[in-house]
Amino acid sequence: MDRKTYTAELAGLRELRTEITAAEKLVAAAQKELDKLTAQRARRVAGLAGYEGAQAPAIAKASGLSLGDVVRIAPLLDPTPAAVRAAKADDRAAAAVPAPAPVAEPVVEPVAAVAPALTRPAAVLEQPTPAAPPVEAPTEAEHQAVVEQPAPAAPAVPAAPVAPVAVGPRELPALPEGPAGARFEAVTTGLVSKRPNFTQQARSTVFLDAATGELAVRDRVVRLDLGTRTPGEILDAVLATAPGTERIYITAGAPWHDGAERYSTLKDAVAAWLNTPSERWTTAVGSGRDKLAGHFVHQRQPVGRYAPAASPDGPVTEIRSMGEWFDPDGADVVTCRQAFTLLWQALRRHWDDAVLMGSPSQTGRDLWSRTIPTTGKWAGGYPVLSEELRGLLHATGGQGRTELILPPRVPEQLPALVEYDRTFAYAKHLWKSPVGVPRRITAAAFAAMTEAEQVKALMSCSHWNVRVTVPAGWNHVGLLPAPVTGDRAWVYPSEPGATFTTWAGGAEVHLALSNHLGPWKVEILGGLLFEDGKPLDEWGKRLKAAWADLTNLSKLHADERQRQAAYLASRAVRSVLLFGLGGFAQRPRLVSGTTPVGEALPAGVEILGQAGDVVTWQRQAGFSRDPYAHPEWAAYVWSGARAALLDMKYRHGKEVIGHAGALHAKPGTVVYFGTDGIALTERQPWPYRGEPGDYLLKGHLTGPVEHPASQEEYLKLRGLGRAELVATEKGTDL
């Protein structure tokens, strides 16, 4: 080829490039239109599912979809018998993380290895957010997440705000050297999460309004005389009407709060009510070194377990709060019972052997155990980490971020208070989780990695001990948690130059290094690198499908009672996931018990109160040999959720089409973080598609608003903002 031909070919190549670019634009425009029409068709198919006589074959023919596609869009239309459905499992494992570069000779361990900045700082502190296609937004969203119960409260929830840079002296544990450190790269011998080979037995359950005496039992409602509403009188009245009842859910009335004004704390009042003397009933007890009380003392959602006094080893009847599953919000006993029925039906569409247990935590864990794979690497079950490693994760992996940001970082007079809540938030973070025995990464090992290996390690399922420095010129919210003493276990420093040492999940560390406002300085002191796996993915997919079924039903059903019941059932699915995940954290057990006055109390107990001749106490009992203890999963999901409060990507397939989160709001506008939601001083252009993790506008309180001085004041303002938004939307509808 001569020079003339070469030049001519270059010119032709440029023309071809122009034609290809034009064609790509046409294809992109056509694809955008196709996506719009496809989404419109999916919404119409989902809407048709609300008709009781809807048939999947007819809808498939009219829409041009296959029967399988129709069922995927609207699972309520699935004509396949539940017994023959097979859940799809994705057994693909992520690529193994490369080992650290070998070191030929012994090296001196560096104090820390500086992690690489993963993006260049933006030229300005605020970037425009790409707009996503507009989608009609539902009117309901998620409430603020709470700590798993009956486990003790997670350390990340504060009682009151403190100065944001007041990093206290609390020192977090580190990975020890030598033989002791080997226990942090080990599992507990003989303890594996295995798929059960039995089916749970359903319990005979009734629903009682303790305020009116109305009892929903099977398909009828009767009114009972509850006397003074002591546990014994409630048990007598219920079992006389519904013999064989094993579980009583109190939907309204909260009898455990009767006479609460006589006690110094609400917990004392609840303990006294649970232990009210009765000639016919006694506390159901277990076995062990101590005679453990069957009751669980909680301020608002206690559990009482009783057996006949004549036969203490006889059948046990529980008295529980409906609030464990959802806030009844004025629903009558029939609606609550119907919500449980719809919940069971929705779960049975995805688990042939689903059974509703006493609490959402127990139910969630049981359902998860039935998704443990029967083939592949983890067919024999998932090993439980060593007690030392579980203790480290318990001490260093907090739950949700709860923070009230105080002036002068925000105005004394807020122009407005706008609340956004992430819908079914934790469900978005279950697609990947750590599995197997972690590999310890020292500062030297991290420093020896190539930059690509360091980035991969930070993006993998990991937990890092880091020293962090807030960069000069930073004027936004804090990104990483710092440990402090007192009721509030974590704060989020944001003052330029602040330095602190902490532990954080890979998602948060990666965000600190890659956020669009500018990278923070992060020095790696050590860490734990797990294999990327999908132990929660199938469980999450099924729960999300059940939640979507019930959410759609709550909007489309013609009967108002059924709509309300479906909504409450969707909230119960959320509780199953939220508390089921909290159950994996398996914090040290909190054991409660009772001892007659005058007898010696067990060592190390905290006295909860005294009722008559009985003292009720509790104490920490360490970690149990729980085959379903996986704090590494809970810590990883919580870390991802905290990162998403700051920066969440909206995707269409693999394409990022928008962003949301605190870092995409103007500096000085973020007022409050509340586990899965945030409050700001102005509205944001964040799209809402009704998908798990999306930010939904939940409240808007018109200003000027005096800045709340405490969390309690904020919660009052939040309630006013939600009421104002509802009133505004009703006015708009008129």
Does residue 60 carry a pLDDT above 70? yes
**pLDDT over threshold 50, residue 722:** yes
Residues 316 and 221 in one domain: yes
**Is 532's pLDDT higher than 80?**
yes
Q: Are 52 and 76 in contact (CB under 8 A)?
A: no
The count of structural domains within the chain is 3
Percentage of the chain surpassing pLDDT 70?
82
pLDDT score, position 601: 78
The pLDDT value given to residue 624: 67
pLDDT beyond 50 at 27: yes
Look up residue 129 and give its amino acid: T
Last residue of a domain, one of 289, 324, 359: 324
Q: How far apart are CA 707 and CA 557, in angstroms?
A: 41
- At which of 79, 95, 122 does a domain end? 79
At which of 64, 79, 94 does a domain end? 79
> What HEC string does 250-274 produce?
EEECCHHHCCHHHCCCHHHHHHHHH
pLDDT band at 79 (very low <50, low <70, confident <90, very high): low
Q: What is the DSSP string of 50-69?
A: TSTT--HHHHHHHHT--HHH
Containing domain of residue 304, as a range? 203-324
Position 236 in a domain = yes
For the segment 681-697, the average pLDDT, to the nearest whole number, is 94
Residue 351 in any domain: the answer is no
Does residue 569 fall inside a structural domain? no
CB-CB contact of 431 with 529 (8 Å): no
Question: Cα(554)–Cα(559) distance, rounded to whole angstroms?
Answer: 10
More confident call, 96 vs 77: 77
150-154, 264-268, 444-448, 658-662: segment of lowest average pLDDT: 150-154
What DSSP line would sit under 348-389, residue for residue?
HTT-TT----SSHHHHHHHHHHTTS-SSSTTTT-EEEEPHHH
| 263 and 167 co-located in one domain | no
Taking the CA of residue 211 as centre, how many other CA atoms within 13 Å lie in the half-sphere pointing to its CB?
A: 9
Same domain, 527 and 399: yes
In a domain, 355, yes or no: no
Please state which of the ranges 61-70, 85-94, 243-252, 541-550 shows the lowest mean pLDDT. 85-94
DSSP 160: S
pLDDT at 527 over 50: yes
pLDDT level of residue 281 (50, 70, 90 thresholds)? very high
What is the rounded distance in angstroms from the CA atom of residue 577 to the CA atom of residue 556? 24
**Model confidence band, residue 176 (pLDDT cutoffs 50, 70, 90):** confident
Q: How many CB atoms lie within 10 A of CB 459?
A: 16
Give the number of other Cβ atoms within 10 Å of residue 145's Cβ: 26
485/309: higher pLDDT = 309
Identify the pLDDT of residue 101: 35
Residue 696 has pLDDT above 50, yes or no: yes
pLDDT(13) > 50: yes
More confident residue, 141 or 79: 79
Residue 341 within a domain = no
Does the pLDDT at position 698 exceed 50? yes
Least confident range of 93-97, 113-117, 658-662: 93-97
Same domain, 179 and 210: no
Same domain, 638 and 672: yes
pLDDT for 46 = 65
Residue 425 has pLDDT above 70, yes or no: yes
Using the predicted structure, report yes or no on whether residue 580 has a pLDDT greater than 80.
yes
Could you give the residue ranges of the DSSP H alpha helices within 586-659?
631-646
Query: What is the predicted pLDDT for the residue at 719?
Result: 94
**pLDDT tens, 550-577?**
999 999 999 999 999 999 999 999 999 9
Same domain, residue pair 417 and 485: yes
**Does residue 645 lie in a domain region?**
yes
Do 419 and 503 belong together in one domain?
yes
pLDDT at 35 over 50: yes
Residue 148: pLDDT above 80?
no
Q: Omega of the bond prior to 179 within 30 degrees of 0, cis?
A: no
Report yes or no on 22 lying in a domain. yes
In this structure, are 180 and 298 located in the same domain? no
Residues 175 and 220 in one domain: no
Better-scored residue on pLDDT, 494 or 51? 494
Does 506 reside within a domain? yes
pLDDT reported for residue 572: 97
Residue type, 514: S
Question: Quick one: pLDDT at residue 461?
Answer: 96
Instruction: Flag whether pLDDT at 665 surpasses 50.
Output: yes
pLDDT(631) > 70: yes
Q: Are residues 216 and 319 in the same domain?
A: yes
What was the pLDDT predicted at 234?
Answer: 97
Confidence of residue 597 (pLDDT cuts 50, 70, 90): confident
Band (301; pLDDT cuts 50, 70, 90): very high
What's the DSSP call for residue 527? E
The answer, yes or no, to whether residue 337 has pLDDT greater than 90, is: yes
Residues 36 and 118 in one domain: no
| Inter-residue contact 207 to 323 (CB < 8 Å) | no
Distances, alpha carbon 664 to alpha carbons 127, 516, 645, 670, 697, in Å:
7, 9, 10, 10, 15
Using CA atoms, how far apart are residues 639 and 470, in angstroms rounded to an integer? Answer: 19
- Name the band, by pLDDT with cuts 50, 70 and 90, for residue 314: confident
Residue 121 has pLDDT above 80, yes or no: no
In one-letter notation, the amino acid at residue 275 is N
- Phi and psi at residue 483, in whole multiples of 5°? -80, 140
pLDDT band (50, 70, 90) for residue 545:
very high
Instruction: Tell me: do 154 and 211 sit in the same domain.
Output: no
- Tell me the C-alpha distance between 247 and 237, whole Å: 14
198, 400 in Cβ contact below 8 A?
Answer: no
pLDDT value at position 77?
A: 62
> Residue 299 in 3-state DSSP?
coil
Element spanning 191, H or E: strand 187-193
Q: Round the average pLDDT of the chain to a whole number and report it.
A: 83
